[in-house]
Chain A
Amino acid sequence: MAQHYSIQSATDPPPDKRKRMPRTRSPRKTPIASKSEAGSRPVAAIEIHEPAQQAEQSTAALPDSEILARAQAGDHHAFAHLYSLHKRRIYSLCLRMVGNVAEAEDLTQEAFLQLHRKIATFRGDSAFSTWLHRLSINVVLMHLRKKGLPLTSLDEAMEPSFDDGPGRSFGAPDLSLTGSIDRLALERAVGALPAGYRLIFVLHDVEGFEHNEIAAMLDCSVGNSKSQLHKARLKLRDALRISLRQGGRG
């Protein structure tokens, strides 16, 4: 089936591009990045360049179900609209899970590429947003596996030591996390967690998945998921207590 791309000159940059601060990006050679950045500029991209915002306008009056149906039928405008509707949530999810802007962008790209490949198979058994969310999580997990994080044996992957265990909490409760937690300090602490701990913590405490769902996603036991989450929280507690002792510095 022929695609319904509208033609726009590549010399007309999308207006939204001008508002963005340029960001220095280091070269990335992850498997995902190589998909999008390898080789020279494809000719087709010059011929059909179209900002997602413009596509969104052309389908703005349609209900979400119609946008989805059109995207499933191969309508590029509708797919661009879907991107506009879901990009923030998917990008934020990727960013939480990997803690790195460049990787999160690559993973968002890969998630929407996968969506483009698979959207026709969506049958509506769950909400589309839930389906896309799961698809995106799988993209991130696949990426982490490629990076060498052995998600099937998280205990070993997290460099466990006796310090990680509960015994560490036996010291005097000199500094309890009373009141509200400094959100920035907590975000920093989550960002500093080992990748596997961060993954479990984000999936459970931030994204709201249950342990049995996480266990299925990561191919580990429910007990393992609970244990890793507990250790992640203990590590965060330690980091926050240190932050408190230092008076919030650093």
Chain B
Amino acid sequence: MNHDPKSMSCQEFQEQLPDLIGSGADLASHPHLQSCDLCRALLHDLETIAEAARQLFPIQQPEDALWDRIESAIRKEEGSQPEAE
């Protein structure tokens, strides 16, 4: 594999991308991205997705009846155990 960032192919760059992204380094100045619109667009998309993920899935409320089930299950467990000292 070619490890010279300047002459890296798209495939080589993208194979390293999980580690590069995971390292937390600023990739904007990566030599390959300076000359590759395609990989720059890819990275931008992935960053956009990661950013959007933080806004995903607003906090939701479980059904009120769930507590009844939990309480019932707790009592069932306690009923099957010997009384604690």
Q: Chain A residues in contact with chain B, CB under 8 A?
A: 1-3, 14, 16-17, 19-20, 23, 35-37, 41-42, 44-45, 48-52, 80, 83, 87-89, 91-92, 95-96, 104-105, 108-109, 112-113, 116-117, 166-167, 169-170, 172-173, 176-177, 180-181, 183, 186-187, 190, 201, 205-206, 208, 211, 222-223, 226-227, 229-230, 233-234, 236-237, 240
Contacts and interface: CB of A to CB of B under 8 A. Distances in A.
B56 A186 contact: yes
A229 B72 contact: no
A226 B18 contact: yes
User: Which of B48, B74, B84 has most chain A Cβ within 10 Å?
Assistant: B74
Nearest to B12: A166
Q: Is the interface of B mostly helix, strand, loop or mixed?
A: helix
Interface in B12-41: 14-15, 17-19, 21-22, 37-39, 41
A170 B76 contact: no
Contact of A87 (B39, B66, B69): B66
B56 A95 contact: no
Contacts of A105: 62-63, 66, 69
A44 B46 CA distance: 53
A170 B38 CA distance: 7
B77 A49 contact: no
Nearest to B84: A1
B71 A45 contact: yes
Contact of A80 (B49, B57, B67): B67
A112 B54 CA distance: 25
